[in-house]
Amino acid sequence: MTRTDAPKTDTHCPYCALQCAMSIADGVVSPREFPTNRGGLCQKGWTSAELLTSPARLTTPLVRRDGELRPAAWDEALDVVAAKLRALRAEHGPDSVGVFGGGGLTNEKSYLLGKFARVALGTSQIDYNGRFCMSSAAAAGLRAFGLDRGLPFPVADLDRADAVLLVGGNPAETMPPFVQHLRGARLVVVDPRRTATAELATLHLQPAPGTDLALALGLLHSVVADGHLDEEYLAERTTGFDEAWRIAATWWPERVERVTGVPVADQRAAVRLLAEAENAVVLTGRGTEQHAGGTDTVSAWINLALSLGLPGRRYSGYGCLTGQGNGQGGREHGQKADQLPGYRKIDDPAAREHVKGVWGVDDLPGPGRSAYELLDALGQPGGPRALLVFGSNVVVSAPHSRHVADRLAALDLLVVADLVLSETAAVADVVLPVTQWAEESGTMTNLEGRVLLRQRAVAPPEGVRGDLDVLQGLATRLGQPAERFPTEPEVVFEELRRASAGGPADYSGVTYRRLRDGEALHWPVAAGGPAEPGTIGRGTPRVFLDRFAHPDGLARFVPVEHRGPAEPPDAEYPLQATTGRVLQHYQSGAQTRLVAELNAAEPEAYVEVHPDTATRAGLAHGDRAAVVSRRGRTLARVRCVPSMRVDVVFLPFHYAGEGRANLLTNPALDPTSRMPEFKVCAVRLETV
């Protein structure tokens, strides 16, 4: 029980992008009323404080000596890192050092990490694990609307929707409080699995993995053929429909059924539910975008939404469900290879001049390698020889993870800043113990583009430092003035405001004071300009009501064609594996696997298989199986699930060691977003 006199701090959950509001007192969390979660928490949120006192917490730096990680003083550890970085840069140039960030870092950390890479290190080699999260939806949103904000409307608007098409998302497990916003709608779920979310649906479409684009083309065909096209909306608010239709016209429903397995009647029923609704929304998630053609696939779903006249209408539209806690803000402020703060493009001369002025520097490096390409280049000729990792566990989370582990082993220096000894930290040369969510203040940007303040609630353990302190400590050792790398989050945010001003993701009107006062500030929030001296923006909860962000104000249809998986099944690998999350664990599981209640509920890797598929492989429910792809072999416990497709198996990606699902996954990359194809690869089952 929490003492009634214990001081209570209002904050937000450390996990997903829903950013549920909670309070913490005496190490115990309790939910609080907020538009996204409305007083609800999931099991992860309820147990989130357990990690604050976990015996697994790192509390002293570790430096590898004689092959083992041994405790070291902070000055010693930072000196070791800085000396090696100076030597590598002197001998091999600034791009010999890479930086890998995370979508769970606060806006302040994301911003300062990008500045540290480009100013203190002078490297172009920085990217982050958000590239693995929703980069395809971001690219598709930019193409269609001229702006990427996951949900361009508040979550609460979904309460007014009569119909929702949810593609490749399972919020009933990944963000349970979100589901209450869907309860008033007729729900159509597109997923190869009969997930907990699909169980709630009015209609479940179950396509083969990697065929979502064909299904979206078929639904657009039905919109036109069945007389549901909103021609007035198309004329007033869009351009490019004819080019998109030339392709969709060839995807008649019977052809779509042959490719996807989704019956013609279900295709037409899904379109009818959306078209007849007063308010309808199309939502996409990781399942439809983590493909080598993910950007085009999301574009196809956006085309469907545009054909029905949904985007830019109140209580209707298109949106993407951001996954990581700060997946939205994390890609807006400079830790992505091609971006500068404010969601500016790094190769835009005007953007470079603006940021150089804020940072007080004469030059900036250009764009670098994307996340997997960065990891693939480590230790290779011309690639980075050192890597600094903040807030990511790439040994578990990256595709083709055995290869990634080999690349890490080839480095001259691997530095990991983390709060526990993750699988990536365990192979590092230097490990730096840093604070976690309740031990620090900072801002996050949730899935609806709302900027939130997570306030410090407890003191960190002795010996632990904040990421901002770490960056300043390294920057000063590399010759930078300390004031260029502040350690106070609010001071960093004040600089972020100036750096983002005038950019697509403009935070210049956001202040800590306004956030503490509880104002709902959805970006862009511009401060007053010369024409409005002293004024301050009120935020933009709905960004497309009047116009889209292209210069002409129109949304773009993008013509896209179905290509199918990069690695189709064959005689040697006859099944398709897809991956995803479960209720109790989060991302690589480095934190949730340390929470007793969560780990007890889902303690080991498993593979969901149709009973007939298991029988053909000589397996039964509860057996240990090997799931084998061209890249590796994962061991998992068999779960026979009658609702599974007979040609598909499913593995959660939260587990380490021989249970890593990403030992199997294909690093084939989307040509636009550089997203790897996590969601489908060819495999076979073997007995163990």
- pLDDT (average), residues 157-176: 97
Q: What is the pLDDT of residue 225?
A: 98
Confidence of residue 323 (pLDDT cuts 50, 70, 90): confident
Same domain? For 265 and 390 the reply is: no
Tell me if 527 is assigned to some domain.
Answer: no
Same domain? For 347 and 427 the reply is: yes
Same domain? For 343 and 480 the reply is: yes
Residue 538: phi and psi, rounded to 5, are -100, 0
Tell me if 473 is assigned to some domain.
Answer: yes
CA angle 655, 590, 587 (to 5 degrees): 70
Confidence of residue 5 (pLDDT cuts 50, 70, 90): low
Same domain? For 296 and 368 the reply is: no
Same domain? For 671 and 650 the reply is: yes
Same domain? For 316 and 332 the reply is: no
Tell me if 615 is assigned to some domain.
Answer: yes
Domain total in the chain: 4
Q: What is the pLDDT of residue 450?
A: 97
Tell me if 667 is assigned to some domain.
Answer: yes
Tell me if 511 is assigned to some domain.
Answer: no
Same domain? For 393 and 434 the reply is: yes
pTM comes to 0.96
Same domain? For 434 and 475 the reply is: yes
Q: Which long-range contacts (CB under 8 A, 24 or more apart) does 80-83 make?
A: 80/430, 81/388, 81/413, 81/415, 81/430, 81/474, 81/477, 82/474, 82/477, 82/478
Residue 281: phi and psi, rounded to 5, are -135, 140
Same domain? For 202 and 311 the reply is: yes
Mutual angle of helices 107-115 and 467-477, in 10-degree steps:
10
- pLDDT (average), residues 21-27: 93
Q: Which among 425, 428, 349 is positioned nearest to 392, based on CA atoms?
A: 425
Q: What percent of the chain has pLDDT over 70?
A: 98
- For CA atoms 481, 483, 488, 494, give the dihedral sign: negative
Same domain? For 307 and 191 the reply is: yes
Q: What is the pLDDT of residue 292?
A: 96
| pLDDT value at 6 more than 90 | no
pLDDT in tens, 58-113: 999 999 999 999 999 999 999 999 999 999 999 999 999 999 999 999 999 999 99
Query: Residue 616 is part of a domain; what is its CATH number?
Result: 2.40.40.20
Tell me if 449 is assigned to some domain.
Answer: no
| pLDDT value at 2 more than 60 | no
Tell me if 673 is assigned to some domain.
Answer: yes
Q: Which residue has the tokens 């290879």?
A: 337
> Strands of 280-284's sheet, edge to edge?
203-205, 186-190, 163-167, 280-284, 317-320
Average of per-residue pLDDT values in the chain: 96
- pLDDT (average), residues 580-592: 94
> What domain range includes position 18?
9-53
Query: Residue 32 is part of a domain; what is its CATH number?
Result: 2.20.25.90
Same domain? For 92 and 36 the reply is: no
The answer to whether residues 152 and 315 touch, using CB atoms and an 8 Å cutoff, is no
- pLDDT (average), residues 421-449: 97
Q: Which residue has the tokens 């308010």?
A: 279
Tell me if 540 is assigned to some domain.
Answer: no
pLDDT in tens, 370-402: 999 999 999 999 999 999 999 999 999 999 999
Same domain? For 19 and 74 the reply is: no
Q: What is the pLDDT of residue 534?
A: 45
Query: Residue 189 is part of a domain; what is its CATH number?
Result: 3.40.228.10
